[in-house]
Amino acid sequence: MTDNLVLRVVAKLLIPPILLFALYVQMHGDYGPGGGFQAGVIFGAGLILYGLVFGTHAVRSVAPPRLLAIIASLGMLLYAGVGIASMIAGGSFLEYGALSLDATHGNHVGIIIIEIGVGIAVAAVMTIIFCVLAE
Amino acid sequence: MIASHLPVLQVALPLIAAPVCVLLRRGRWAWAFTTIVCWGMLAIAALLLDQAMGAGPISYRLGGWAPPIGIEYRLDGVNAFVLLILAGTAALMMPYARQSVEQEIRPERQHLFYCVFLLALTGLLGIAATGDAFNIYVFLEISSLASYVLIALGRRRRALTASYQYLIIGTIGASLILIGIGFLYAKTGTLNIADLAERVPALGETPAILAAFAFITVGVLIKLALFPFHLWLPNAYAYAPSFVSAFFAATATKVGAYMLLRFVFTVFGAPFAFGTLPLKEVLLSLSLIAVLAGSLAALFQTDLKRLLAFSSVGQIGYLGVGIGLASVTGVTGALVHVFNHALMKGGLFLAAGAIAYRLGATDLSALHGLGRRMPFTMAAVVIGGLGLVGVPITSGFVSKWYLVQGAFEEGLWPVALFVLVGSLIALAYVGRVIEAAYFRAAPEGGEPVREAPWAMQLSIWAMIAGSVYFGLHTDLTVGIAERAAAVLLGAP
Amino acid sequence: MEALTHVNYWAAIALAMIGLYAIIAPSNLVKKLIGLGMFQTAIFLIYITVGKVEGGTAPIIDPAYDVYSNPLPHVLILTAIVVSVSTLAVGLALTVAIKRAYGTVEEDDIDEQDRR
Contacts of A17 by beta carbon, 8 Å cutoff, 6+ apart: none
- How close, in Å, is residue B231 to chain C by CA atoms? 14
Q: What is the mean pLDDT of residues A9-14?
A: 92
Instruction: Give the pLDDT means over successive 10-residue stretches in chain B (492 positions).
Output: 82 91 88 93 91 83 80 87 92 91 87 93 93 92 94 90 94 94 89 87 86 93 90 90 92 91 89 84 91 91 91 92 88 91 92 88 82 86 90 87 89 87 91 87 72 88 90 85 85 50
So what's the pLDDT on residue B151? 93
Please name the residue of chain A whose CA is at the shortest distance from the CA of residue B63. A95
Q: What is the ipTM of this complex?
A: 0.93
Residue C68's φ and ψ, nearest 5 degrees, are -120, 150
So what's the pLDDT on residue A96? 81
Q: Which residues of C touch A33 (CB under 8 A)?
A: 60
Domain membership of residue C69 as a residue range: 2-115
pTM confidence score: 0.94
Question: Any idea what DSSP says for residue B70?
Answer: S
Angle between helices B77-104 and B27-55 (to 10 degrees): 170
Chain centre distance of CA B240: 16
In Å, how far are A47, B427, C25, C100 from A135, measured between CA atoms? 16, 50, 29, 12
Q: How many domains does chain C have?
A: 1
d(CA B474, CA B487): 19
The sign one gets for the Cα dihedral B25, B28, B34, B40 is: negative
Q: Are the C-beta atoms of B307 and B287 separated by less than 8 Å? A: no
Burial class (CB in 10 A: 0-12, 13-18, 19+), B60: buried
Instruction: Give the pLDDT means over successive 10-residue stretches in chain C (116 positions).
Output: 74 93 92 94 90 79 82 89 92 92 89 84
In Å, how far are B11, B270, B396, B475 from B338, measured between CA atoms? 21, 20, 10, 16
Q: Hey, are the CB atoms on C98 and B160 less than 8 Å from each other? A: yes
When scoring B2, B4, B8, B69 by the number of chain A Cβ atoms within 10 A, the one with the most, hence best to mutate, is B8
So what's the pLDDT on residue B492? 45
Q: Hey, are the CB atoms on C29 and B164 less than 8 Å from each other? A: yes
List, in sequence order, every beta strand (DSSP E) within A15-107. Answer: none
Other beta carbons within 10 angstroms of residue B392's beta carbon come to: 11
Contacts of A121 by beta carbon, 8 Å cutoff, 6+ apart: A40, A71, A72, A73, A74, A75, A76, A79
Q: Which residues of C touch B137 (CB under 8 A)?
A: 80
d(CA B193, CA C9): 26
Helices assigned H by DSSP within B56-132: 77-104, 110-129
Q: Are the C-beta atoms of B43 and B132 separated by less than 8 Å? A: no
Which value, to the nearest 10 degrees, does the dihedral of the CA atoms of residues C69, C71, C73, C79 take? 150
Q: Hey, are the CB atoms on C82 and A37 less than 8 Å from each other? A: yes
So what's the pLDDT on residue B154? 87
Q: Which residues of A touch B23 (CB under 8 A)?
A: 70, 73-74
pLDDT digit string (tens) for A43-101? 999 999 999 998 888 888 988 888 999 999 999 999 999 988 888 888 888 888 778 77
Percent of chain A with pLDDT over 70: 99
- How close, in Å, is residue B152 to chain C by CA atoms? 8
Three-state secondary-structure class, residue B363: strand
Other beta carbons within 10 angstroms of residue C30's beta carbon come to: 14
Please name the member of A32, A33, A132 whose beta carbon is closest to the beta carbon of C93.
A132
Q: Which residues of C touch A37 (CB under 8 A)?
A: 78, 82
Q: Hey, are the CB atoms on A129 and C60 less than 8 Å from each other? A: no
Please name the residue of chain A whose CA is at the shortest distance from the CA of residue B19. A73
Three-state secondary-structure class, residue C57: strand
Residue B257's φ and ψ, nearest 5 degrees, are -60, -40
Interface residue B148 vs chain C (CB under 8 A)? yes
Q: Would you kindly state where each structural domain of chain A is located, as residue ranges? A: 5-134
Helices assigned H by DSSP within B204-278: 207-224, 232-239, 242-261, 270
Q: Hey, are the CB atoms on B60 and A70 less than 8 Å from each other? A: no
d(CA B146, CA B153): 11
Q: Which residues of A touch B64 (CB under 8 A)?
A: 91-92, 95, 97-98
Other beta carbons within 10 angstroms of residue A34's beta carbon come to: 18
- How close, in Å, is residue B127 to chain C by CA atoms? 15
